[in-house]
Structure 1
Amino acid sequence: MMIRAGIFASILGFLAGLAGVWTGLHVFEAEDAKADGLHEIVHHELVLSTRQETAIAELETAFESERVRLEQDVFDARQALGEVLVRDKALSPEVRAEAARFHDVMGELQLASLNHILAMRATLDPEQQARFDEKLVQAFNAGH
């Protein structure tokens, strides 16, 4: 009986790990690719004024610390979810609560990323915004 419980716990831990890897690959890499593409456009395809360059550099510096903090929160929430899932071995109220917390912090990261994108866009003139918007739509439609 003890061996079966150990095997079950190992399988649950493995599955939780796979879920974390999948999330990392599909959520964060997709967000990073979108951000990289948009930053490429802003810095290399648009001719920015000195004022715009300075404003965007300040936005990027501020967002970087927020992004790092939020990514740590996501990591911590994912880890807590895995631990309670292995402990409870069922879709218990605690597992549901940790899953909800995990989704909440992922949502915070996504909203912070979107706010950053919109803040960068706000520094652009109307012609630059139109080009940025085209690339934004392409970035969000990539892979489909």
Structure 2
Amino acid sequence: MTNGRLLLAVLLAGLAGCLGAIAADRWLNHEDNGSLHQFVHEELVLTEDQNSRLETLEARFAVERAALESSLRAANARLAQAMDAEHEYGPEVSAAIDDVHGQMGELQKATVQHVFDMREILEPEQQRLFDRKVSEALTSNSRD
């Protein structure tokens, strides 16, 4: 593999690793529809108790998300190292790709769980509006 092709492969691998994080992040920070958190805070009339519980959820998820994103960056670094070592789609590269996918999946699972945790603090009518907002964010055809 030429140096140019290797560089392209490493860049594409990094991009692939980021795509999972972006997809998960889309649930919470969709550009066209505004942030899901922003929607909950600004468009739903929350009680003091709901606001307090939401702040707790957000703080907990911020820590979890930071750790998962760090793990994803580390997995991407291992993929880059494997690609540099093998210079082909060998067993180390394959294992590193599986690791990246696993980390992306963990981030997406945590994000989905956070969305459901947020939903749980809402009243039934708020949940209906929230569900619609989540559905719109996931199914829109915007260019990110």
CA contact (8 A) 1:9 1:86 kept: no
- Superposed, 1:18-97 pairs within 5 Å as 18-21=12-15, 23-24=17-18, 26-36=19-29, 37-97=35-95
Cα offset, 1:22, TM superposition: 5.4
Residue 10 (structure 1) shift? 4.9
Q: Which amino acid aligns with 1:28?
A: A
How far apart in 1 are the matches of 2:103 and 2:24?
15
Matched, 1:15 2:9: yes
User: If you compute each CA radius of gyration, which structure gives the higher value, 1 or 2?
Assistant: 1
Q: Give the alignment partner of residue 114 of structure 2, picking from 106, 113, 116.
A: 116
Given that 2:17 and 2:76 are in contact with CA atoms closer than 8 Å, whether structure 1 keeps it comes out as no
Task: Read off the aligned partner of 1:65 and give its amino acid letter.
Answer: V
What letter corresponds to residue 49 of structure 2 in structure 1? R
- Aligned residue pairs: how many? 137
Please report the RMSD computed on the Cα atoms of aligned residues, expressed in angstroms. Answer: 1.8
Deviation at 1:85, TM superposition (A): 1.0
Greater helix fraction, Structure 1 or Structure 2: 1
- Measure how far apart 1:38 and its partner are: 1.1
Unaligned runs of 5+ in 2: 30-34
**What residue in structure 1 maps to residue 32 of structure 2?**
none
Q: Displacement, 1:33?
A: 4.0
* One-letter amino acid of the counterpart of residue 108, structure 2: Q
Kept in 1: contact 2:27–2:36 (CA 8 A): yes
Q: Once superposed, which parts of structure 1, at least 4 consecutive aligned residues long, lie more than 6 Å away?
A: none
Rounded to whole Å, the distance in 2 between the matches of 1:23 and 1:100 is 11
Do the aligned partners of 2:40 and 2:130 also contact (CA within 8 Å) in 1? yes
Structure 1 residues 27, 143: CA separation in 2 closer, same or farther (over 3 Å shift)? farther
Taking only the aligned residue pairs, the percentage that are identical comes to 34
